[in-house]
Structure 1
Amino acid sequence: MPRGRLRREGGMIGLLYASLGAIIGSGWLFGPLHAAQQAGPLSLGSWAVGAGAILLLALVYAELGPMIPRSGSIVHISHVGNGPMLGRIWSWILFFSYVSIAPVEVTAVLTYANNYLPGFLRGSSGLLSNRGFVAAVLLLGVFVLLNFLVIRWVLLLNSAATWWKLIIPAATVFVLMSLSWHPENLRLQHPHGDLQGMFTAVASAGVIFSFFGFRQAIDLAGESRNPGRNIPIAVIGSVLIGAVLYEGLQLAFLVAVSPADLAQGGWQHLDFPGLTGPFAALATAVGATWWGVLLYADALVSPAGTAFIYTTSAARITMATGEMGSGPRWLARLNGRGVPWLSLLVVYGVGSLFFFPFPSWQKLVGYISSVTVLSYSLGPVVLLQLRRAMPQEPRPFRLWAAPVLAPMAFIVANWIIFWAGLATLTFTFVALTLLLAVYLLFHYVLQDAQDREALGWRHVWWVFPYFALLWLCSYLGPASLGGKDWIPFFGDMGIIAVLSLAVLWAALRFAVADDEMVRYVKELNEVPPTAP
């Protein structure tokens, strides 16, 4: 079986467009409607909160990424500070986070396509029909097949799609605001138009989901010619460009809606009967039928392009789990073109399963918002650990005021997980518990004693009370998020902030020795992971 090497063929623009192409996907097609339904005009604040939260995390990873410039480096980073067991757990979180996003984008493509090719959805439920499920599995397979190209062609295809994906949303803002301008809509508050709706929309309306793509540049670091320069520019630049675009789209959506459509049920009950694409429906309603037709075409390009690039990064994350022993070693095998082909097949098989329990766009988004932000939350911990262990190590990008901004990023990440709701959090933690049980069964019962490695329980114990208390806060929290309503929304946020600081202290206090961290990072950087 041929074993190749990854190719360093990704430039700064390629990495920037990889992140930006992942950010501009199905989120802009559906997010503004769902955000308006949950928060009314305060949905503008939802996008600002989401962008600010992701920018905090992006700044953290802009420093971490170049320190371990390997493809799938997020997996490697998770093994740095608290031993192999934590690395295993976070590798699983990362795997499910990445492998589930392409199915979201495929679902978005079929949701829009259902308008002119009926039969993909079950009535008005938004759920995939049997025909829709088959189409989804086949379409996901197409993106996997395209990823068998060498990385240079993958990035070129993505860059071409990203130009289209930038132009169409920006032009949509202009078209809607020039044809329909109702600023009085901004004074029509949501029936529950308080700050709670603004915050919960961040997690459950697709707001935070829309910004997740910033990490694509980090995932492809091992295939970049100059990761120290390219990664920070791509990560930070993609978030800033995406934030400006999404704020413009949300404003255009709010002021373009006819006041007559809001007269009956307000923002909460805003709907476009018979049409499953809110922007295309809105364009048609304001007299721009021609633009609505173009938006239906873009509804294939935008989410399809995002599904394509997420398939690329998901394969790299899966490959890294094989390299680190969190998954089977054969996941790290490359073909002669430097493509992790076995990982691509695993991404396809597992990704197809996500069409079963979450067969609609918004259901998938709720789950992914929780599990992906949970995967992000380890970054601030590792950043502070490496600052302590390697204070003089040269850093291409150095986060200003890291002792303040890193804890803030950790708190914000836990807030977003909380905003996703109890049901999503329960599903995530139950799945992780089952995975851990299976792994421990294999490790302690089925594996020979001489083959077992030390898992470092002393360094990882804090994760279990962290997850349990985070779930308990959600369980006792507001009824609007599925809780018992024993703790008010903002009181719960305060408790989670204190919990976050306590967890951060424990993670730093029980980290592996500094010299062990230094040795680990140097070993990763000494072994050339790519072809020149």
Structure 2
Amino acid sequence: MTDSPTTDSAASGGGGRSGASLAREIGVIGLLWASMGSIIGSGWLFGAQKGLINAGPAAILSWCIGGACILVLALVHAELGAMYPLSGGSARFPHYAFGGVAGAGFGWFSWLQAVTVAPIEVSAMILYLTHYDFASGWLRQDQTLTHTGLAVAIVLMAIMCVVNYLGVRILAFTNSALTWWKVIVPVFTVVIVVLFSKSGLHTSNFHAADGFDPGGVKGILVAIPAAGIIFSYLGFEQADQLAGESKNPKRDIPLAVIGSIVLGLIIYIGLQIAFLLALPPSVIGDTWSTMSKPYFGSFDGPWAQVASGVGLGWLASVLYLDAVVSPAGTGLIYTAAGSRVSYGLARNNYFHSVFASLTRARVPWFGVLISFIAGCVCFLPFPSWQSLVGLITSASVLMYAGAPLSFGAFRRRLPDAERPFRLPLGEVFAPLAFVVSTWIILWTGWETQWKLGILIVLGSLLIFNREMDREHMNWRAASWLPVYLIGIGVITYFSTFGGDGASSHQMGVWPSLGLTAVLALVVYYWAVAVALPRHVIERMIEDVVVPEEEDLAVPAGH
């Protein structure tokens, strides 16, 4: 493997090497498992229960709609990732299509998502571990960490960072081993509960309590973000984030991105149906929304409680163990993602060049360090910390919205560029993907969006304070961005998703969806029309992609 420098000017520091490239050592299974390791995390242990609380048995439809939405976005990412296999790719595509203003915004949300998921998963590990006596003193009554719990959390974060620091080959091997476990356990759980439940399966549950769909269409859609369905599907883009370290990105990235969503969709729908059928009718109560109170009063885990309730106590023990392993695997891969996103943003001059410094194992060491520090900050017992982190994670779909816009811009500006995976009907799927991502933002509600506004302002103050190439900071190419952000906020406030009990929220479900779709389509075609000129896009991409391809060339037989 050669060591010729790239054209990116990054200062070295901390023993790292700037300008060197990441090592291409991950195959298709490693990429697929990187995405699957993110998709199958702590979410599956709670998603089925939360789905029933929010939408009743119609949560099955919520999982299908959520999976279809993410699949549309994944198809767009597959073409982009194979076309330009850049580390931290999903955070960088808007930069090349629309310049620094738009790129900085989407890059900021990508980084926030990546660095906050790991501490969320570590916190979940500790919460599950408190089921055992040895960990009972790690949390207070309000579920904030004690001094001992904080020390354990820091140690767990440090372990994840050390594994990342050792190199991508060790990371891929460790994550692959964990992901095999993480995929097998939920599949195994569905099969065992359906075939060996001692109390039998209860098909009457489909119409128990207040019916199949007590909340109607609104309930089904609100459950997609509220029940953690979108959170559970997040992670397919991890194959894109590691594209700069793929052996054969043009073939493997589309397979990994699309394959992870299809597998995740099958697993999650199976889990929801199995959970519903195994649930004892006697514990459901009069309404699905209050179903959790008498039966799921503790944080021990709904799946483990159901397993115990149907006479499968040994399975409950396995699930308690998985409740530690699954979050650990997801936290591990997101620690890697955070450092790769910051590496990519540094190469685009959004972050300081030190984030592009690499170790001898070609790991972005400073990004790993900052991910560790950010995770430790999240562990501090701030008021409403969990709601803030949950907000950042749920709102990461805003990052996904940059991909279909970039897709459309590249299709128009670079029609003859090589596309190893060319999405059929891309001219239809790209605007549809942008509409879908905007709908998901709508469904999160006003309480989420006004806080997102604060984060947007914070990111602007941090990123735009840096001196950047004036040609890259193209305001015309990003003229649609403030209109989009303000527009979706206004629509949400006055929509049925604006909040309960507010007289100003008057639009029904279908008018809300229709107006949001119109806004998204107007912004999509506006953005494509004002994207950067062809020669600027080609020069910006060539400055990064061509040197990386030369540096990352893998000798035959590697």
Q: How would you bin the TM-score normalised by the shorter chain?
A: over 0.9
User: What pairs up with 1:172-321 in 2 under 5 angstroms?
Assistant: 172-178=189-195, 179=197, 180-188=200-208, 189=211, 192-271=214-293, 272-321=296-345
| CA deviation after TM superposition for structure 1 residue 265, in Å | 4.3
Residue among 98, 102, 125 paired with 1:109: 125
Partner Cα distance (1:374, 1:474) in 2? 15
| CA deviation after TM superposition for structure 1 residue 131, in Å | 4.6
Partner Cα distance (2:397, 2:494) in 1? 21
**SS, match of residue 512 in structure 1:** coil
Identity of aligned residues (%): 35
Aligned to 1:490: 510
Does the 8 A contact of 1:144 with 1:344 survive in 2? yes
Partner Cα distance (2:407, 2:446) in 1? 29
Does the 8 A contact of 1:14 with 1:155 survive in 2? yes
Which range moved further: 395-404 or 360-369?
360-369
Which range moved further: 35-44 or 96-105?
96-105
**SS, match of residue 408 in structure 2:** helix
Partner Cα distance (1:69, 1:185) in 2? 47
Task: Note closer, same or farther for the CA distance 1:503–1:451 as it changes in structure 2 (3 Å cut).
Answer: closer
Does the 8 A contact of 1:24 with 1:165 survive in 2? yes
| CA deviation after TM superposition for structure 1 residue 308, in Å | 0.4
Aligned to 2:452: 428
**Deviations 1:147-203 (Å, cap 9, x if unpaired)?**
112111110111111111111111111222230411110112268431211111111
TM-score normalised per structure 2? 0.89
User: What pairs up with 1:349-428 in 2 under 5 angstroms?
Assistant: 349-356=373-380, 364-370=389-395, 372-428=396-452
Does the 8 A contact of 2:122 with 2:153 survive in 1? yes
Aligned to 2:545: 525
Does the 8 A contact of 2:83 with 2:421 survive in 1? no
Whichever residue aligns with residue 52 of structure 2, its letter is A
Does the 8 A contact of 1:128 with 1:360 survive in 2? no
| CA deviation after TM superposition for structure 1 residue 312, in Å | 0.9
Q: Is 1:501 paired with 2:521?
A: yes
Which range moved further: 290-299 or 346-355?
346-355
Partner Cα distance (1:111, 1:6) in 2? 35
**Deviations 1:439-466 (Å, cap 9, x if unpaired)?**
44x35xxx6xx98666211111211111
Residue among 339, 356, 362 paired with 1:338: 362
Task: Note closer, same or farther for the CA distance 1:244–1:191 as it changes in structure 2 (3 Å cut).
Answer: closer
Partner Cα distance (2:152, 2:447) in 1? 28
Whichever residue aligns with residue 353 of structure 2, its letter is R
**SS, match of residue 184 in structure 2:** helix
| CA deviation after TM superposition for structure 1 residue 134, in Å | 4.1
Aligned to 2:152: 135
Whichever residue aligns with residue 201 of structure 2, its letter is W
5+ long unaligned stretches in structure 1? none
Partner Cα distance (1:359, 1:128) in 2? 13
Residue among 348, 362, 372 paired with 1:324: 348
Aligned-pair RMSD on alpha carbons?
Answer: 2.1
Partner Cα distance (2:42, 2:459) in 1? 30
Task: Note closer, same or farther for the CA distance 1:352–1:425 as it changes in structure 2 (3 Å cut).
Answer: farther
Task: Note closer, same or farther for the CA distance 1:132–1:422 as it changes in structure 2 (3 Å cut).
Answer: farther
Does the 8 A contact of 2:97 with 2:531 survive in 1? yes
Paired residue total: 524
Aligned to 1:49: 65
Partner Cα distance (1:205, 1:362) in 2? 14
Partner Cα distance (1:418, 1:149) in 2? 41
Partner Cα distance (1:275, 1:200) in 2? 23
Aligned to 2:536: 516
**SS, match of residue 292 in structure 1:** helix
Does the 8 A contact of 2:442 with 2:497 survive in 1? no
Partner Cα distance (2:143, 2:406) in 1? 40
| CA deviation after TM superposition for structure 1 residue 474, in Å | 1.6
Whichever residue aligns with residue 392 of structure 2, its letter is Y
Task: Note closer, same or farther for the CA distance 1:355–1:269 as it changes in structure 2 (3 Å cut).
Answer: farther
Partner Cα distance (1:129, 1:393) in 2? 55
Does the 8 A contact of 2:21 with 2:548 survive in 1? no
5+ long unaligned stretches in structure 2? 1-14
Aligned to 1:437: 461
Task: Note closer, same or farther for the CA distance 1:451–1:393 as it changes in structure 2 (3 Å cut).
Answer: closer
| CA deviation after TM superposition for structure 1 residue 477, in Å | 2.0
Partner Cα distance (2:415, 2:394) in 1? 33
Partner Cα distance (1:268, 1:88) in 2? 43
TM-score normalised per structure 1? 0.93
| CA deviation after TM superposition for structure 1 residue 120, in Å | 3.8
| CA deviation after TM superposition for structure 1 residue 130, in Å | 5.5
